[in-house]
Amino acid sequence: MGSKNHELVPTPLIEKLSRLKGGASGVHRSISALAKNGLVARIKEAKYDGYRLTYGGLDYLALHTHSAKRHVYSVGSRIGVGKESDIMIVADETGTQRVLKIHRLGRISFRTVKTNRDYLRKNKTGSWMYLSRLAATKEFAFMQALKEEGFPVPDPIAHSRHTIVMTLIDALPLRQISAVPDPAALYADLIELLLRLARHGLIHGDFNEFNILIKEDSVPGDSPDETETTTLTPILIDFPQMVSMDHGNAEMYFDRDVACIKTFFSRRFHFVPTKAGPFFVDAKKTVGKDGARRLDAALEASGFTKKMAKDLEAAIREQQEHVTSKEENGAASDDEDDEDDEEDEEDAEDGGEGEQDGQISEPGVVIIAGKGIAKPNLIADGQGLGKLAISGDT
């Protein structure tokens, strides 16, 4: 609660909110225990005495909720790391595998801009952890709305703080595929998805090879003499940057999504469409056409306010600017990264009170609320696409 408006929560405020017995000394003992486990941290040379919740602490709170509601029983390997999230394989009590997405806005800013360690200091809108919670809230709401309308997205199962639990789909990211049987057909399917989103009032905002999965299904022939055919189904993921067709920069976002797909297909599959477009002005005319439900309104209906959307958009834009700036100036050297790591360690209190960034030290050997231990690799045998050429890109 205190982290919403404070990067560093004052100790007196912690005492007030916690209502622990034993007064200040009892609160201090509890905080020390949490700090030793890397769940909270004290910042050296701060203007006042206080603690911050680490991403490890936030992870624990979210996993505790998922465990209590029986959405997650065990945690396996980390299968993806992005600019703004970690992706983990998890399982429920029956062993059914699922995906846990952990939003981590601010990860890039923590390491690349020393003078802007927290978005709160500059813009007064809330900490990076609070913004990560907004990102998860927005994504979960859109996933629910899109699933209800029959869009090819993972089934949203649960949401807690900065995390989302969803179904695990046997598919590969488009970026990992080096060849497909019919690039024109797949391109047409993706453009139709983009236009279908527009009819429902939405623009993905990050429609590229990193956020599109390709699911392969074999369809048997109508007779024993006919060979089976392979169908490719695009699956959309990653929705924190999704915006309305009425957004002030809607045309820019729409055109960027179209350009990303065209560029990738040209580079990877050597496919260039003969027809220009699609264009935003034409897509705008289709919004709500043929009874399409406006899904951009679903976000506000979920309780996600315009102010929340504005804060989140500003945070994501800031991260993108950091990435662009770093790419233009050249990647930081290993020595510089080491210096940043040392500086981060010095920011925390000695004696195990440093921030652990929420990372699991031994993936696949994690106990959730004392209930169970995951197998080292909770990935189904044979997972992956069999008839497509796989690229070495990751």
CATH at 37:
1.10.10.10
Q: 142 and 153 share a domain?
A: yes
Consecutive sets of 10 residues in the chain, 394 residues long: mean pLDDT of each? 65 80 79 91 77 89 96 94 90 96 77 38 59 93 96 98 96 95 96 98 96 90 76 95 94 97 98 96 96 87 79 79 64 44 38 35 33 35 43 54
- Bond into 224 cis (ω within 30): no
Answer whether residue 393 is part of any domain: no
Tell me, yes or no, if 206 is annotated catalytic: yes
| Pick from 313, 151, 189, 187: nearest CA to 260 | 187
Answer whether residue 391 is part of any domain: no
Q: 118 and 186 share a domain?
A: no
CATH number at residue 63: 3.30.200.20
Task: Tell me if 282 sits within 8 A of 117, measured CB to CB.
Answer: no
Q: 20 and 75 share a domain?
A: no
Answer whether residue 363 is part of any domain: yes
Q: What CA–CA distances, in Å, run from 118 to 6, 133, 205, 211, 347?
A: 10, 15, 24, 27, 13
pLDDT given at position 322? 65
Answer whether residue 260 is part of any domain: yes
Q: 311 and 166 share a domain?
A: yes
Q: 152 and 176 share a domain?
A: no
Residue where one domain finishes, among candidates 272, 301, 330: 301
Q: 272 and 179 share a domain?
A: yes
Residue where one domain finishes, among candidates 284, 301, 318: 301
pLDDT given at position 141? 93
CATH number at residue 282: 1.10.510.10
pLDDT given at position 12? 82
Q: 59 and 154 share a domain?
A: yes
Q: How many CA atoms lie within 13 A of 142 on its CB side?
A: 26
Can you give the residue range of the structural domain that contains 21? 1-53
Task: Tell me if 369 sits within 8 A of 62, measured CB to CB.
Answer: no
Answer whether residue 238 is part of any domain: yes
Strand runs labelled E in 141-253: 156-160, 163-167, 172-173, 177-179, 202-203, 212-219, 229-236, 243-244
Q: 184 and 295 share a domain?
A: yes
pLDDT given at position 21? 73
Which is catalytic among the residues 59, 86, 118, 206? Answer: 206
| Pick from 283, 268, 267: nearest CA to 193 | 283
Task: Tell me if 106 sits within 8 A of 118, measured CB to CB.
Answer: yes
Name the phi and psi angles at 62, rounded to 5.
-65, -45
Answer whether residue 390 is part of any domain: no
Report how many domains make up the chain.
Answer: 3
Q: 181 and 274 share a domain?
A: yes
Q: 290 and 181 share a domain?
A: yes
Q: 92 and 35 share a domain?
A: no
Answer whether residue 347 is part of any domain: yes
Q: 287 and 199 share a domain?
A: yes
Answer whether residue 131 is part of any domain: yes
Residue where one domain finishes, among candidates 249, 280, 301: 301
